Amino acid sequence: MQVSLSGKRFLLPLIFMLILALPACRSQRETSRTPTATTTDAAFYHEFSQKLGYPLNGTENPALIREVSSWLGTPHRYGGTTRQGTDCSGFVIEVFKKVYQTSLPRSSSDMASHARNISKSQLREGDLVFFRTSGGRKVSHVGIYLSNNKFVHVSSTRGVMISDLYEPYFVRTFAKAGRIR
């Protein structure tokens, strides 16, 4: 290949090299936008699938999964907001503060008023699910939707735990779903 700054001999090879380089640049950008699972990712999702008790698909938010997992088993304490004891809204407030840097109202009914209504079919990770567990019309319980119909919440008898939206109790008491972000 001859390189000459004054003539067509330089221009043709330059154009040819640019044409060859363009697809490589495009595929590199596409690859960086499409994350692929690494061994570390696979180990992470396997470990947290075990902790949470249901299979993760590898697209979940690692910060949310870690935070939720660190609360599992925390006992229920009315008005609590710590790992020594928490209620449902205190738990949701602390998780949202840590994972999403978002402040929420203190009560589950106020959270329900604050959230944008969505249908169950629109639920995605990090959305809130609200229940009427006290028998009245007012929302009295809140949890955070994870995936695969699973949500994390605080049971008054079992503490922070994972449940399924389609368990009969939650089907019966479901009030609405809401999105904060």
Q: In what order do the strands lie in the sheet with 141-147?
A: 116-118, 174-179, 128-131, 141-147, 150-155, 159-164
Q: Any idea where the domains of the chain sit in the sequence?
A: 58-179
Per-residue pLDDT tens over the stretch 114-168: 999 999 999 999 999 999 999 888 999 999 999 999 999 999 999 999 999 999 9
Look at residues 46, 54, 96 and name the one whose alpha carbon lies nearest to residue 71: 96
Q: At 137, phi and psi to the nearest 5? A: -85, -15
The token pair that represents 144 in the structure block? 């955070």
Active-site residue set: 88, 141, 153
pTM of the model: 0.78
User: How far apart are alpha carbons 68 and 83 in whole angstroms?
Assistant: 11
Domain 58-179: give its CATH architecture: Alpha-Beta Complex (3.90)
Per-residue pLDDT tens over the stretch 82-128: 999 999 999 999 999 999 999 999 999 999 999 999 999 999 999 99
At 93, which amino acid appears?
I
